């Protein structure tokens, strides 16, 4: 069984969906510490004036002591209205805007309490549109102990994974010998970011997958997988 995992991120980039597409199961890492100025609550979209950040404000009191799954959104600020308006401003003339806009309108019209719930709802929508059918398990439901590499290895043991897919930065902390000694083969993703037809001038990479979705619609999956590792290659 091939396993991968990732922290809850807001409006993820293409590489996360490539990693999930390679796996048989995906663990939602909601039981690790929240990281300030990371991707948990922000990402970028492309406007006619260049890329901009969309950031979900969070309640900051003791947030460094909290697990990411318990981080609450600061709904005293009009972030949802701002994000919806930014998406509309940036993509209203895109080819597939009308296919997907209603989903985002509904998302931003709902009051979300926990950041992780918002992120998971959006992630599931993207997976459905990409036709990536991979079961999602919450780390908080598994009750696994350990830090960094040991946490991941213990998770692999509990879920009986034989292969674990790390992101590219996994090489910086993964104890590869320990993994292999436990019968788990570590694989490190090296994502080759594709170019695709964009609005607003020259191509810009590493944006939220929103950009790909609005511009390319049903071709998204083939585009994000193009020139990258496949599950068949991992298994053979």
For 80-109, what is each residue's pLDDT tens digit? 999 999 999 999 999 999 999 999 999 999
Q: How many domains does the chain have?
A: 1
Rounded Cα distance between 129 and 100, Å, is 9
* Half-sphere exposure for 125 (CA within 13 Å, toward CB): 20
138: helix, strand or coil: strand
Beta strands in 40-184 (DSSP E): 42-47, 50-55, 136-138, 163-166
Q: Whose CA is closest to 227, among 192, 201, 195, 196?
A: 192
What the block records as the tokens of 168 is 């590219």
Q: How far apart are the first and last CA of the chain?
A: 13
Query: Model's pTM, two decimal places?
Result: 0.94
In percent, the amount of the chain with pLDDT more than 90 equals 83
Write out the residue range of the structural domain in which residue 155 sits: 2-235
For 26-37, what is each residue's pLDDT tens digit? 999 998 878 777
What the block records as the tokens of 155 is 């998770």
What the block records as the tokens of 96 is 């597939």
Rounded Cα distance between 150 and 132, Å, is 28
Rounded Cα distance between 199 and 201, Å, is 6
For 43-52, what is each residue's pLDDT tens digit? 999 999 999 9
Q: Whose CA is closest to 210, among 79, 110, 106, 122?
A: 122
């Amino acid at each position: 069984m091939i396993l991968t995992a990732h922290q809850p991120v807001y409006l993820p980039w293409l590489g996360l969906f490539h990693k999930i597409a390679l796996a048989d199961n995906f663990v939602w890492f909601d039981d690790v510490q929240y990281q300030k100025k990371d991707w948990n609550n922000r990402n970028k979209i492309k406007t006619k004036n260049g890329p901009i950040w969309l950031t979900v404000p969070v309640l900051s009191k003791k947030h460094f002591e909290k697990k990411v799954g318990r981080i609450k959104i600061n709904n005293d600020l009009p972030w949802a209205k701002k994000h919806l308006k930014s998406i509309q401003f940036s993509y209203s003339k895109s080819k597939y805007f009308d296919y997907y806009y209603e989903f985002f309108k509904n998302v931003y019209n709902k009051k979300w309490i926990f950041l992780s719930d918002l992120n998971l709802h959006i992630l599931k929508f993207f997976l459905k549109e990409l036709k990536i059918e991979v079961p999602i398990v919450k780390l908080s439901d598994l009750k696994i102990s350990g830090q960094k590499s040991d946490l991941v290895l213990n998770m692999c043991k509990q879920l009986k994974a034989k292969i674990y897919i790390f992101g590219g930065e996994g090489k910086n902390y993964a104890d590869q010998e320990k993994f292999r000694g436990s019968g788990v083969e570590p694989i490190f993703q090296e994502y080759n970011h594709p170019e695709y037809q964009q609005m607003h001038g020259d191509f810009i990479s590493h944006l939220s997958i929103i950009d790909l979705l609005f511009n390319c619609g049903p071709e998204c999956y083939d585009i994000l997988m193009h020139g990258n590792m496949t599950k068949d290659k991992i298994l053979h």
